[in-house]
Amino acid sequence: MKRINRLYPILLGALLIASADSCNSNDDLGSQDISIPGVTFDGDIDCCSAEEALQVFRFLETVNIIPELSTVVDGKYNVFAYSRTGNFNVGYNDIYFVATKKKNGNYVKNFEVTGLTPHMLMVKMGMKHSTPVSGPAESFSDSYPAVKRAWVSFIMSSGESGSWTIGYNLDVLGSNGGIEEADITVDPLPAGQDWVKSFKVGNDTYYISVVNPLDLKTGANTLKAYISKKSSPATTPYALATESFKVDIDPRMPDMGNHTSPDNTELTKQADGSYQGTVNLTMTGLWRIHLTVRDLQGNVVAGGDNLSDGFSSLYWDVTI
């Protein structure tokens, strides 16, 4: 499916993009300081301040619209979805949502996105399965109160084996709507990349997804990941695992004699359900980040088996 990443936002766009600067004034940044075509500054109490809206406008310049996941609620609100590229790839993907009032273009701060449900139809097998997802979309920064974020980690790409859809529910100021099932395309990762892996503990299957690996750079990085548990039935989105683990990391450069790096720290569970640690990448190139998953008593539950090279068979491949 081919996306129209540039033209679509422009056609929708004086309404949406302009609306980022559209909300009522505050003491520091009043409506007289902002001139946006198609936007009315009318002191709308449901909206963010002009200063907050300007921050949202600048944020939206860094992402691209996903036309398939944008919709209208009750004829009164536009809801738009974005990702970094306007596309999806195997592994972790942030999805950002904004809602605007059709009558004036102003952003709505208080809206809810729930029930995010991706499904893959396996053509040859005639069955569906889901994939790891976040919970309800939430404001992820005080700077962007009118932007909600959720995430999906796709475990496989679209293709001959199957096709993906996504649905979600909306509540915008008491008006309900959403998308039941939108066709999307999930692109494979570039050759040599691997950003989501599965492991088993007993009869349960887990997925460990590295967050935004393209943000990694040379030097010390905060490494963030999520561990999700496969649901039963498999059509139910895979929620974050309630079990807690610790994940040892061992970054190596397979193209450089498997040399490692100093000062790495294990991934431990945070209050938001993510796992965070430190990885030190000393040079550019392909890094294979080997993972050993332990329970809280220190017992190895996954990744303890070794490949012929002596390293964990559970790993991410990331190029910086």
Query: What confidence tens digit (pLDDT) does each residue in 223-247 have?
Result: 999 999 999 999 999 999 999 999 9
Residues 90/157, Cβ–Cβ less than 8 Å: yes
User: pLDDT tens across 63-120, in order?
Assistant: 999 999 999 999 999 999 999 999 999 999 999 999 999 988 888 989 999 999 999 9
What percentage of the chain carries pLDDT values higher than 70? 85
The two domains 7-187 and 196-319 share their CATH topology (first three levels equal): yes
What percentage of the chain carries pLDDT values higher than 90? 73
Domain-by-domain residue ranges, the chain?
7-187, 196-319
Measured CA to CA, the distance from residue 47 to residue 45 in angstroms comes to: 5
Which class is domain 7-187? mainly beta
Residue with the larger pLDDT of the pair 59 and 95: 95
Maximum Cα–Cα distance across the chain: 68
Measured CA to CA, the distance from residue 146 to residue 98 in angstroms comes to: 6
Return the CATH architecture of domain 196-319.
Sandwich (2.60)
- Return the ∠ at Cα 93 (arms to 206 and 314), rounded to 5°: 35
pTM of the model: 0.87
Q: How confident is the model at residue 307 (pLDDT cuts 50, 70, 90)?
A: low
Q: Is the dihedral of CA 65, 68, 72, 73 positive or negative?
A: negative
Residue 53: pLDDT over 90: no
Residue type, 183: D
Pair type for strands 186-187 and 88-89:
parallel
pLDDT at 151: 98
Question: What are the residues whose beta carbons fall under 8 Å from the beta carbon of 12, sequence distance 6 or more?
Answer: 65, 70, 78, 80
pLDDT at 161: 87
